[in-house]
Structure 1
Amino acid sequence: MAAVALSPDSRAKALNALRTVELDVLVIGAGVVGAGSALDAATRGLKVGLVEARDFAAGTSSRSSKLFHGGLRYLEQFNFALVFEALRERKLALETLCPHLARPVPFIYPMLKAIDRPYAGLGIGVYDVLGAGRGVPSHLKHLGRAKTVESFPSGDPKTVRGGIKFYEGQVDDARHTMMLARTAATHGAHVANSTRVTGLLRAGETVVGVSVTDLESGESFPIWARQVINATGVWTDEIHKMVGTQGKFRVRASKGVHLVVPRDRIKSETGVITRTEKSLLFMIPWAQHWIIGTTDTDWEYDLAHPSASAADIDYLLEHVNVLLTEPLTRDDIVGVYSGLRPLLAANSDSTSKLSREHAVASPVPGLTVVAGGKYTTYRVMAKDAVDAAVKPMNAAGGRVPASRTQHKPLLGAEGYHDAFRGRRDTAAQLKMSVETVEHLLGRYGTLMNELLSLIADSPELSEPLASAPGYLKVEAVYAVTHEGALHLEDILTRRTRIGIEVPDRGEGAAAEIAPLVAPILGWSTTETLEEIEAYRLRVKAERESQMQPDDPSADATRLSAPDIRTDEHRST
């Protein structure tokens, strides 16, 4: 099956189909669960639409800790079923579904007190046993102080008494979510980002579709569907308001903040996971950087642009510095990002204790709501949502097949292992460095050939970006021609990670990339300059918000920047 490109032309065709075709299933929200639901429904042979108000993975699904993991904290709740389910999904992702986007990563759980070893050792030991054969090496090791510091040289030997080494899975969440959407499109789904749902269409009590607005053109139109799935995460309650009913559960937003620092500031062969009084603290290797997180605090402000405050940053620095011989300072931070976890809260006793587990409900006929859960178990959530949505079809005599996604690798996955084994020969043939080939394979898998075709037509695209040399110019162009990016922020914050990986947070790259993609997106000279300025103001507002003492002031400061997906910044 030939891969469908998410290009400006394919988006226009998808919007036209959404206007004119009655769908079996329309999914609202292209985070990981929504994109996964669209893929699940499309691979069952259904007529499927997927609409997203902003960009693929623009919310929670681009701002996670970037791990496929079982959830150590659930062992404390004796929730073995949830842990086992997550570990099974981790194996599927790493070995079958997306090995080009996910990989095993070793971690150390440091012992800070004598009592830690029997307590943590038992828990991680159970975790390791449950995860045996689950996609990562099963090599649990207890390390003494000397061996721990040998593996983690930046660890303070006065604090770190030893450690337990084990493995987790890592994933580029935004690329993975986008690839789910693109794979869904390849299986026939009509996929459109920048398409906001503004209302539900009803026939009596039954939901029969939605009203949407194309945020790029301003055009509004109806989409008709036999079933609608609301997979909007922290925006779930907004759709509930359109229904006019509270439903069995509501979603509470919890903010998680992460810092990004250069790799050379912390010397360690492994990641580190430890516990604070409020949450787990991760120190995660991320190419040439470390990701340090996370916080866990209620968030009651803007959902599209959650802001990290000075208090959040100070909290993370304080706790990570407990472990380090050379403390980190604000000057070490090159990037900061904040995401919102969609935690379930009960509206009745029957849905208490939902926590991070997901729930599926149908508050009115024609509408299915899925919420909660965790990134690792997105596929199970998607399956459950589609199962619930197609129940009326089966009851009416239809025979909708069961979920097939456990056997459907994402685009770029098939042939990846062979391609990676042959990377040195490929590098020699292409006259590229082995590191460049590994970089491309790790982001695109066997779809790397599509980028090579663009380079063949325009050899200058093989050059690195001057302001972000970890990426090639072709990657910015490909983000628009094949991956659905419509704005500079899509390219800089999700298709690449330039916005959190370079000290200027992508301002230089914005000016460098804009002329490359403007002709493809049809931008005038004025619109190109507006895109660059909008990104600059976004960065400025984010930096200033991170100096504010608390959430209200951080939120107000972040919202001072124009939103590229409104008309407020456009010239008239």
Structure 2
Amino acid sequence: MRSTHFTQASYLNKESRDRAFQAMTDDEGVDILIIGGGVTGAGIALDAATRGLRTAIIDQGDWANGTSSWSSKLVHGGLRYLYNLDFKLVAEALKERGLLLEKTAPHLVKAQPFLWPLKMPVIERAYSAVGIGMYDTMAFAGARGRHTVPAQKHFTKKGAKKIFPDIKNDVFTGAIQFYDARVDDARLVIDLIRTAAGYGALAASRVELTNVVKNNLGTVVGAEVRNLETGENASIKAKHIINATGVWTEETESLAQEDAGLEVLASKGIHILVPRDRVKATSGIFTMTEKSVLFVIPWQRYWIIGTTDTPYTEDINNPVATADDIQYVLDEANRLLANELTKDDIIGTYAGLRPLLQPKLKEGSESSSTKVSREHTVTQIAPGMSAIAGGKLTTYRVMAEDAVDFALGETAKARPSVTESIELVGATGYSAAEAQRAKIAQIHGWNDERMTHLLERYGSDIHELLALIEEDGSLATPLAHAPQFLRADVLFGVRFEGALHLEDILIRRVRLDLEQRDRGLSSAEEIIEIMSEELGWDAATEQHELDTYKARVEAIAAAENETTDSAATGHLSNAQTVVSRA
């Protein structure tokens, strides 16, 4: 049985992209044009499309190309914000966490326990219990009287050691366990784009904004763009443009107005990955550090450990973890871990940039056009164009609603957001798919780990994956050098999730870039074989895809030996890219 919501309209592939590009550049134009295909832009596309607006979204790279694929991969209320008394912010995030867990993306978002180690047995336990108790209560209220995750539990030192045997004896006296949630950030973005497309949004990746078009009154009326896959230049007529480009915000808004909009500073956060069996524990850990926070987050096959929070002034297209960054995270983790980690344990690293913002207004201009919350800001750049930045992955839906409300102005009241009740692709029928777990496993000879992997990737769309395998039984074969993934995972990424290049599969669909020391390079030729047949590549294209990805792998390896951002980023800046923006 296939998901009833899975329609051809929600397919993302080369053909759908080409059709979307032609449609958004036709004479009809669009109501809303979104620049930026991260989680914020994707959320805006879904919000606008489900209000009945003719919506288009473009990104100069792949979907989730920037910050949205390099987060801590958490859906969380922000427990630490309670200690800054940011109650409204935390309540908002906890409500959104509940929606994702229960309604909009239960296949992607999973409850995740964390231990909060206590150093003082009485005083710290008391105030931490109050803080976490407030966290649980606010989540309960946000979910209208339902528990979307278990409540806090208190553990003695002995009890905590049973949950996290690898914690050092001298760093804690006991612990409190609380729950947040985790998500594959890139998959969330892709599912948002697919769902938006299913509701009529026109989505085209690797389309670059080259100019903003104004009429003689100074009102923005459209955009000039370049199709980076073909080199074609075109124009998009738009009643309103929303800039959702994160750390690229200033670069984008400068095309419309030099001295207004948002000023964005970048802060770099890095994470390391180690094998799942390297740390003995059944829960994650969360604690504060002198410079940032430390998350130790369990996934099926690995642990994600981070993060840093350092000012970044280099090439924003190519942040990368330096030797100093990696050592810092190792040192912070080893303050807790009895079986200390070394660089040899690391199977992957990644770096992302957080956009830190403040309003930047022309002298004498009014600030009334700016809507500011503690977490995100929406402001007018020029008549007909606005920008949104800040926030976090968890609250993308609220940000999207605010951005579309701002664009619509007074007419927003007649077209309110409906995304609280919109399920993403894979969510509709997910419970039924879970109920068929044993039957599917028996038919295909898959173990429980494989079924968990597939259901958490696809939800009810697992039936579309199975349909591919029915058509071609070889697709049920695991990848030779990455047996945790099937050949069908690759084809699904191309046919339904918009992957156009080898890097799109390895970095944001199959994500071997994260969990293998060679960043999936050993599987590249097999993946190219599957992609080539689907996309009609010739031998020269296949070689270019392989060479480009290999150059990226080598550049990151070299960068990880550097101690400064400038030296490290230089390695990636000099590597070739799959498409040229020259």
TM-score normalised by the chain length of structure 2: 0.94
Deviation per CA, 1:47-75: give whole Å up to 9, x if none.
11010110110101111011110011211
Per the alignment, residue 161 of structure 2 pairs with 149
1:248 Cα deviation (Å)? Answer: 4.8
**SS in structure 2 of the partner of residue 78 of structure 1:** coil
Q: Is the CA contact (8 Å cut-off) linking 1:153 and 1:268 kept in structure 2?
A: yes
Within 5 A, what are the aligned runs for 1:452-491? 452-491=466-505
CA distance in 2, matches of 1:319, 1:2: 44
**SS in structure 2 of the partner of residue 402 of structure 1:** coil
Per the alignment, residue 291 of structure 2 pairs with 278
1:230 Cα deviation (Å)? Answer: 0.6
CA distance in 1, matches of 2:485, 2:414: 43
CA distance in 2, matches of 1:364, 1:551: 34
Q: Is the CA contact (8 Å cut-off) linking 2:257 and 2:381 kept in structure 1?
A: no
1:2 Cα deviation (Å)? Answer: 4.2
Q: Is the CA contact (8 Å cut-off) linking 2:49 and 2:196 kept in structure 1?
A: yes
Q: Is the CA contact (8 Å cut-off) linking 1:136 and 1:167 kept in structure 2?
A: no
CA distance in 2, matches of 1:419, 1:19: 39
Per the alignment, residue 18 of structure 1 pairs with 24
Query: Alpha carbons of 1:554 and 1:112: their partners in 2 closer, same or farther (altered >3 Å)?
Result: farther
CA distance in 1, matches of 2:367, 2:161: 48
Query: Alpha carbons of 1:567 and 1:530: their partners in 2 closer, same or farther (altered >3 Å)?
Result: farther
**SS in structure 2 of the partner of residue 344 of structure 1:** strand
1:88 Cα deviation (Å)? Answer: 0.1
Runs of 5+ consecutive residues of structure 1 not aligned to the other structure? none
CA distance in 2, matches of 1:312, 1:121: 32
Equivalent AA in structure 2 for residue 226 of structure 1: K
**SS in structure 2 of the partner of residue 158 of structure 1:** helix
Q: Does 1:120 align with 2:128?
A: yes
- Correspondence for 1:428 among 442, 455, 458: 442
Equivalent AA in structure 2 for residue 323 of structure 1: L
Within 5 A, what are the aligned runs for 1:358-507? 358-391=376-409, 394=411, 400-507=414-521
Identity of aligned residues (%): 44
1:355 Cα deviation (Å)? Answer: 8.7
CA distance in 2, matches of 1:331, 1:142: 35
CA distance in 1, matches of 2:496, 2:371: 42
Equivalent AA in structure 2 for residue 456 of structure 1: E
Equivalent AA in structure 2 for residue 481 of structure 1: R
CA distance in 1, matches of 2:353, 2:57: 22
CA distance in 2, matches of 1:506, 1:355: 40
CA distance in 2, matches of 1:116, 1:256: 28
Deviation per CA, 1:222-248: give whole Å up to 9, x if none.
011111111111111012211123325
Q: Is the CA contact (8 Å cut-off) linking 1:344 and 1:355 kept in structure 2?
A: no
1:122 Cα deviation (Å)? Answer: 2.7
Per the alignment, residue 258 of structure 1 pairs with 271
Q: Is the CA contact (8 Å cut-off) linking 2:117 and 2:173 kept in structure 1?
A: yes
Per the alignment, residue 548 of structure 2 pairs with 534
Q: Is the CA contact (8 Å cut-off) linking 1:356 and 1:374 kept in structure 2?
A: no
Per the alignment, residue 292 of structure 1 pairs with 305
Equivalent AA in structure 2 for residue 5 of structure 1: Y
CA RMSD of aligned residues (A): 1.9
TM-score normalised by the chain length of structure 1: 0.95
1:400 Cα deviation (Å)? Answer: 4.8
Query: Alpha carbons of 1:539 and 1:113: their partners in 2 closer, same or farther (altered >3 Å)?
Result: farther
CA distance in 1, matches of 2:516, 2:566: 27
**SS in structure 2 of the partner of residue 554 of structure 1:** helix
Deviation per CA, 1:159-203: give whole Å up to 9, x if none.
222111010011111001011001000100110001011110111
Within 5 A, what are the aligned runs for 1:302-317? 302-317=315-330
1:415 Cα deviation (Å)? Answer: 1.1
**SS in structure 2 of the partner of residue 454 of structure 1:** helix
Runs of 5+ consecutive residues of structure 2 not aligned to the other structure? none
Q: Does 1:183 align with 2:185?
A: no
Query: Alpha carbons of 1:227 and 1:451: their partners in 2 closer, same or farther (altered >3 Å)?
Result: same
Deviation per CA, 1:91-117: give whole Å up to 9, x if none.
000100000111101110111345533
1:356 Cα deviation (Å)? Answer: 5.7
Query: What count of residue pairs does the alignment treat as equivalent?
Result: 564
Q: Does 1:58 align with 2:65?
A: yes
Q: Is the CA contact (8 Å cut-off) linking 1:42 and 1:189 kept in structure 2?
A: yes
Q: Is the CA contact (8 Å cut-off) linking 1:7 and 1:482 kept in structure 2?
A: yes
Q: Is the CA contact (8 Å cut-off) linking 2:262 and 2:387 kept in structure 1?
A: no
CA distance in 2, matches of 1:274, 1:400: 45
Deviation per CA, 1:441-474: give whole Å up to 9, x if none.
1101111111111111111010110111111011
Per the alignment, residue 174 of structure 1 pairs with 186
Q: Is the CA contact (8 Å cut-off) linking 2:32 and 2:238 kept in structure 1?
A: yes
**SS in structure 2 of the partner of residue 363 of structure 1:** strand
